[in-house]
Structure 1
């Protein structure tokens, strides 16, 4: 059994301790079902979100007590090491540190996890092919497998030199969609994103052009850090020029850590941190990303992706299958992927639908198993939580204001889709809300003048707060992993220095720390 699929189990002492702390309510395994995002009515600005419906009054008090921000930074909080609750991986924190299954899966769950892992790594081929049920790739695509972008289930690699990277895709946005939360409209010819590969006989759409401009930043005490300012464009476009109104938006593949636990957080707990009008005057005005459910049109809370554009793990996986690989699923029937009506050669090619298997190239249970796999990748255990530097850094993380958006902990619902994620105390360090991160991280740039902030006049960059659990292992898993939405930051220090907008004050406090305190804060992040 490989490191990716080897099951990990809690020690009896750890399991007993967690049970005593109420962080797991194990109810036995039942056959898993497709994700069902429960519609939650949108909350008007200023309204108090409804209370959780899954808790008794006693449980509600216990949850409020355990998730209250700590004021004692002299020692670790109870169960802080187990960042992902009872399913936390206690495996060696090495290159495979993000690939392990949740430790509280039963035998049937482990089998499904292994099947999902194989499908996650599966290389798709073009149609027609003698390898039935494996064809349907593209015809235009960015990667042949999920694993290609999410390297060892971690974050993607930014390009090096002139070589491209399948982990970094170039989204196409139109100005009329820049102001909305859901940015789905793409270029009239090239679609939602630039496809840099094509099946035999079909030219790729083109390639990303990227160069960096190094600009120094001086920290308190005289330390100098160089930030890479990316300049984006396109090259080798095979189907004519982009529309003059099209804007470019680069996106790096995010890590897969703890997705099922994030899905199990109650919407009311997320909305409790929202303050879109900054009524408390603290400069932080996170807002929810409301998406439209396909079934009945009711709004559901987005929580996955850089823009919180997907409500469920399954929805995110279906979009990636269709847009990145060109594989249709029951949830997204685009058998020709991101090909548009103006790409007639692409649409004329044979797809990989096998009528005897279903109406999509990846019929159930393929999507279901991949979503199950993604949902049950374990969060790694914290390291060095009691080290003096880590505890000091944790306090600085709070005092500088980082925890205002990177909310440390939640307790998941008692009744999520998967029993193994039920009623867990988890430490994702995210509020899953959208925040304005300033002009430096603006979402879309003009292809005619990528360096100009005035060419497109986009709104300041608004991004979902990325969870920080597992970030300390990012470059252990892959030394070339990058930080932020496009991988421009090579280090955690660079990532912090890019923060602006609502995070500007926290960033400036970090800059003003002396060298010893900055090292302590970084030691805390590296322990996550």
Structure 2
């Protein structure tokens, strides 16, 4: 410990004057980001008064003291914006894709997997793109669709492995969904939430997600409707940005009214890149950034979403989904199979998907279980391949990292306080199931924690520990290629923002100070910050 503290003192002395923004950023990082400091361990362990769940260590056990010192040094926020940092180009570590930028930029395999694993990746890709059909069908390995569903294939929601889009113009709603949920209404239900047996409670008729499509002979549940109101924001220098504020409703409900307590939460499908690397960030490194009581007084809290672990039956750290509600890629895939396509898996053996007891016509439909293939519609080999594919979609390399405007924008990103939530760097675990993801320096620009983003972005829907105004910090890597891959620019959880500047201006709550600094900056600094984001 003494040697580590000496290292910290040397690091602090190297950061410049006490009043410099870069020094303040480094101080905040040192206070919040080092899991071996007892005070930080206590903060990470508090978790709203609960003890740290078994299996979530408060410090990394995979690193020697020498390795720990290296990790501290390499992940410390930079104070030098005159040139790119070492390894900054390879934002996905050794697995970064160096392929030419194209619409397929998010669909490349990790560059450091083996030749044999590339074959596994391509089989997983085929299943990810596979269209499921309704039962009964002659294509017995592909039936089981629905009966209620949002899409027939994973790829149809994760367009080109990138983000979805809101329903507007000629676009459908299949890459943005409405989550349906209500809070607990009895002591028994509150006890279930406290024990984390459930994240929230579905609508009694329509379940946990509105599904607009159905197999032949059945009607869909309804159609999402979005209405926008434009709001003008004036920035420093007099330029005006128009923000669109959405309102959500459901048209053509097929099975009666929604429960009056049910909330509607729109969710845009997020990009798939880098998921396997996120899965291998040490829980201690994420928890070390948590500051639920804002002990350092910077206005940024950051809370983990502790959720049930379907694999172990215990509790663990949620890190995927807009509210960090899912702990692993495999569980995320199983939830999507059940909720979006209506396909049962070993992890979610729901042969009728999200159909509820009130939807009797749905439950009367045949399912696609083939006994010769096992008791579910997507047996373990399917889940193995889809999970492997999802774990190994490569992060594309950075672009223009030595461009003067990009470097100036990076400085603005740091000095405006964006890195308080969008943590630039992590080093993955030493011991990983696949060595391609072991001990990799990665640049996701996220702390994977929940932050209150204010009333403007609130959906009013609690999910586990996440309140109705909290969202997980989304990773920013690849965000500059959104237009190239998806042919559009829609950001935030519901795609309301049509530009990166709009996305920033929607930040409230814990992001309000950074948002205000952006709005008050001169046009050159705003443009530089956006240019930096476009290089990610």
Deviation at 1:163, TM superposition (A): 5.2
Bigger helix share? 2
Alignment match, 1:420 = 436
Q: 1:71-82 counterparts in 2 under 5 A?
A: 71-82=79-90
Measure, in 2, the Cα distance between the counterparts of 1:346 and 1:481. 37
Instruction: Specify the SS of the correspondent of 1:250.
Output: strand
Offset of residue 183 of structure 1? 3.6
- 1:313 and 2:321 correspond: no
CA contact (8 A) 1:87 1:103 kept: yes
The residue number in structure 1 matching 2:162 is: 154
**Distance in 1 between the 2:429 and 2:235 partners?**
43
- Counterpart of 2:223 in structure 1 is 207
Corresponding residue for 1:524?
A: 532
Distance in structure 2 (CA, Å) of the matches to 1:337 and 1:439: 33
SS of the residue corresponding to residue 176 of structure 1 reads coil
Say whether 1:251 aligns with 2:267: yes
Mark the CA change 1:184 to 1:115 in structure 2 (over 3 Å): closer, same or farther. Answer: farther
Tell me how far apart the structure 1 counterparts of residues 85 and 461 of structure 2 sit (CA, whole Å): 43
Q: After TM superposition, list the pairs within 5 Å mapping 1:21-420 onto structure 2.
A: 43-45=45-47, 50-161=58-169, 164-176=172-184, 183-420=199-436
SS in 1 for 2:398: coil
* Deviation by residue 1:398-430 (Cα, 9 ceiling, x = unmatched): 000000000000000011222211110000000
Give distance in 1, aligned partners of 2:248 and 2:109: 37
**Greater mean alpha carbon deviation, residues 52-61 or residues 119-128:** 52-61
What secondary structure is seen at the aligned counterpart in 1 of 2:46? Answer: coil
TM superposition shift of 1:296: 4.6
**Aligned residues: CA RMSD:** 2.0
Q: Cα distance, 1:431 vs. partner? A: 0.3
Shift of 1:164: 3.1
Gaps of 5+ in 1: 1-40, 447-457
Alignment of 1:463 with 2:482, yes or no, is: no
Paired residue secondary structure (2:471)? strand
Q: What displacement does 1:370 show?
A: 0.5
What is the DSSP-based 3-state SS (H/G/I as helix, E as strand, rest coil) of the residue aligned with 1:441? coil
Q: Is the 8 A contact 1:42 1:290 kept in 2?
A: no
In the TM superposition, what whole-angstrom CA distance separates every residue of 1:296-339 from its partner, at most 9, and x where no partner exists? 53211110000111111111000000000000011100010000
Distance 1:472 1:374 in 2: 21
Change (3 A) 1:267 1:459: closer
Output the CA distance in 1 between the equivalents of 2:164 and 2:239: 29
2-side partners of 1:390 and 1:275: how far apart?
A: 30
SS at match of 1:175: coil
Distance (Å, rounded) in 2 between the aligned partners of 1:465 and 1:95: 25
CA distance in 1 between counterparts of 2:172 and 2:92 reads: 34
Contact 2:44 2:291 in 1 (8 A): no
Tell me the matched-pair count: 477
5+ long unaligned stretches in structure 2:
1-42
Instruction: Give the whole-Å Cα distance in 2 for the aligned partners of 1:155 and 1:123.
Output: 19
Shift of 1:523: 0.5
Residues 54 and 413, structure 1, Cα contact 8 Å, conserved in 2: yes
Alpha-carbon separation, structure 1, partners of 2:382 and 2:237: 55
Residues 435-446 of structure 1 mapped to structure 2, 5 A cutoff = 435-444=451-460
C-alpha change, 1:267 and 1:360, in structure 2 (3 Å) is: same
Q: Which whole-Å CA distance do the structure 2 matches of 1:389 and 1:65 have between them?
A: 26
- Show the counterpart of 1:478: 486
2:184 aligned counterpart, secondary structure: helix
Q: Partners of 2:461 and 2:162 in 1: how far apart? A: 27
Can you list the C-alpha shifts for 1:152-195, whole angstroms capped at 9, x where unaligned? 00000111148532011001111338997964421100000110
TM-score (norm 2): 0.86
The whole-number CA distance in structure 1 between the counterparts of 2:161 and 2:257 is 35
Match in the other structure for 1:493: 501
2:183–2:201 CA contact under 8 A, matched in 1: no
CA distance in 2, matches of 1:492, 1:104: 31
